[in-house]
Amino acid sequence: MKSTSLSLIAGTVALAAVTGFAALTAPGEADAGEAKAAARLPVERSSLLCPAPGLSDLAETTYTSFTPAAGSGGTAGAADLMPSVSTTADAGDDTSAEKDGEKDGKKEESKKAESGKPVVSLKKPGMPATAEASGSDAPALVGTATGELAPGWTTQQTTTVSAGATRGLLGVSCTGPDTNFWFPAASTAKSREDYVHLTNPDDTAAVADIELYGPDGSLKSDVGEGITVPARSSVPVLISTLTSEAADDVTVHVTTRTGRVGAVVRAAGDETGSDWLAASVDPTGTLVLPGIPADATDVRLVAFAPGEDDADLKVQLLGKNGAISPAGHEDLHIKSNMTAGVDLKDVTRGEAGSLLLTPAESGRATPVVAALRVVRGTGDKREVAYIPATGPVGAQATVADNRAKGSTLSLTAPGATGKVKVTASAGSEGGEQAVQTYTVKAGTTIAVTPPVPAGLKGSYALTIETESGGPVHAARTLSLPEGGIPMFTVQTLPDDGGTVEVPNAEQDLSVLGG
């Protein structure tokens, strides 16, 4: 048998193992001249990682886990988020290597964690499950969903801190593991305390590198390399300890040498509170940053060009009536391997919008990453949130932990007009799902109060599906004001990866003839 034939058969078998499906057709059953389109099938396994939420003894955290009912796999499954083995205080405390004397102890901790109860366990699609945690010692969570609970599984971690330097509403959609993350809009300034949280879902240690880039290029660091994240554990790394250079705008690049991690940045400022900064979409020439609130008092754009070429971008705000260019900031020049920041101030001027970054010259697209730092309120009543550049809704996107009041859904169509269906799930404690369809005109953003389940009790999830037209990008703002502070958090809604494209395979017995 030829080696190429062996490779093809091995690839088909591996794909069948991942998806649980493979269409094998005997010769003659289909017209050999017809090329069948690849099928999209539900995934049968998903992983999520939630960072340790503990910020202070005043921290109150809610976890909301959800899988959409439509399109779920046919087999029964489970979706559990377990506490990580440990959360190391800081990578500076010799976490770059495990000491031999600690290995047996870590194995014992791992056994205890595996035999412990889930923090939150989802039982069926279409209805959220919730859990709560209090104080500063809540651990990071490591979770897996299988069977019918895997496609589109999402978990929202929402933390409220009512006072102190880290006060605010902090929200994050728990992330899947990966090997490469970009975080523009971080900082090593004295007024900031930003941590990168690295969580390892696997049973073997992962080794990660953290690179920092400021306005003048790479920030020298000797301790950001070779950070070991023990098996099923989480390591928070204080960014300012990785370099002696203070910079207001820093891009953080996390990669792994071995293994994979979930990564997210917790950013805290002396005067504006704190929130989670999720990773930007991978470097690309055109970026969409959706969901800037109408009452934003200060918006700062931070972008980075990781390649060898400088980037020149056209900056546009997409509002309800179309695109405008921010006065004085119509263009943005980003030097290669340098972080650029620009203060757009109150760019929305009372109208919700989204930022669109495109190449200044047609045909000269330079890959970039970007994020927004958004502030609401004034004086000592200010609150911050972050909006990374994100991909479109695609086939389906989901966000959990929506309340009867306080949720706003932003939808933007940067190219052609798009139509989406929004489904509000049943509530975590009762209620019936509701459905609404929205059409977003080309080059505009609409901000709507999403549908609320009839008879809602508890919280609910929103699932967005593209029905027709061009790509639509989305973000959900959750507002929970407290003590005169407009506390809020923004989560973007890229495609949730609930389905995977599987090429049709045909059985060809001729390959057995050598």
The phi, psi pair for 29, rounded to 5°, reads: -75, -25
pLDDT score for 236: 96
What are the structure tokens assigned to 426, written together?
A: 């049943």
Q: Worst-scoring range by mean pLDDT, 22-31, 74-83, 377-386, 502-511?
A: 22-31
What Cα–Cα distance (Å) separates residue 131 from each residue in 34, 315, 424? 51, 41, 20
Q: Which amino acid is at 255?
A: T
Residue 262 CA to residue 233 CA, distance in Å, equals 11
In this prediction, residues 120-132 reach a mean pLDDT of 96
Residue range 274-315, pLDDT digits in tens: 999 999 999 999 999 999 999 999 999 999 999 999 999 999
Tens-place pLDDT, residues 231-242 = 999 999 999 999
Cβ neighbours for 500, distance < 8 A, ≥ 6 positions apart: 18, 19, 40, 41, 42, 43
pLDDT tens string 457-501: 999 999 999 999 999 999 999 999 999 999 999 999 999 999 888
**Domain 45-272 CATH (choose: 2.40.50.140, 2.60.290.11, 3.40.50.880, 2.40.30.60):** 2.60.290.11
Give the mean pLDDT of 402-429.
97
- The position carrying tokens 């890229």 is 494
Q: Are strands 444-448 and 383-388 parallel, antiparallel or unpaired?
A: unpaired
Helix (H, G, I), strand (E, B) or coil at 216: coil
Domain residue extents for the chain: 3-42+503-513, 45-272, 287-497
pTM confidence score: 0.87
Paired with 13 in beta bridges are none
Instruction: Please state the rounded mean pLDDT for residues 61-73.
Output: 85
Confidence of residue 166 (pLDDT cuts 50, 70, 90): confident
Token pair in block for residue 236: 């928070």
Whose CA is closest to 174, among 105, 258, 79?
79
Q: Which of the four pLDDT bands, split at 50, 70 and 90, describes residue 383?
A: very high
Tokens of 436: 């609404």
Identify the three-state secondary structure at position 460. strand
Q: In a 3-state reduction of DSSP, which class is residue 292?
A: strand
Element (H, E) at 172: strand 168-173
Q: Give Cα separations from 438 to 421, 422, 432 (angstroms).
A: 6, 8, 20
Is the pLDDT at 363 greater than 60, yes or no? yes
The amino acid occupying position 99 is: K
Q: Give the whole-angstrom CA distance, residue 407 versus residue 325.
A: 28
Confirm whether 45-272 and 287-497 share one CATH topology: yes
DSSP string, 414-432: SSS-EEEEEEEPPPTTEEE
Residues with Cβ < 8 Å from 114, sequence gap 6 or more? 82
DSSP letters for 346-382: STTTTS-EEEEEEESSTT----BEEEEEEEES-GGG-
Q: What is the pLDDT of residue 74?
A: 67
pLDDT tens readout for residues 306-326 = 999 999 999 999 999 999 999
Residue type, 509: L
* Superfamily of 287-497 according to CATH: TM1070-like (2.60.290.11)
pLDDT tens for each residue of 326-355: 989 999 999 999 999 999 999 998 999 999
Q: In what order do the strands lie in the sheet with 168-173?
A: 129-134, 60-66, 154-161, 168-173
Structure tokens given for 256:
């792994």
pLDDT tens-digit map of 202-236? 999 999 999 999 999 999 887 999 999 999 999 99
| Burial class, 256, CB count within 10 angstroms (exposed 0-12 / middle 13-18 / buried 19+) | buried
Q: How confident is the model at residue 19 (pLDDT cuts 50, 70, 90)?
A: very low
Mean of the per-residue pLDDT values of the chain:
87
- Give the closest residue to 125 by CA, choosing from 97, 163, 154: 154
What tokens does 297 get? 């008092």
Q: How far apart are CA 63 and CA 157, in angstroms?
A: 5
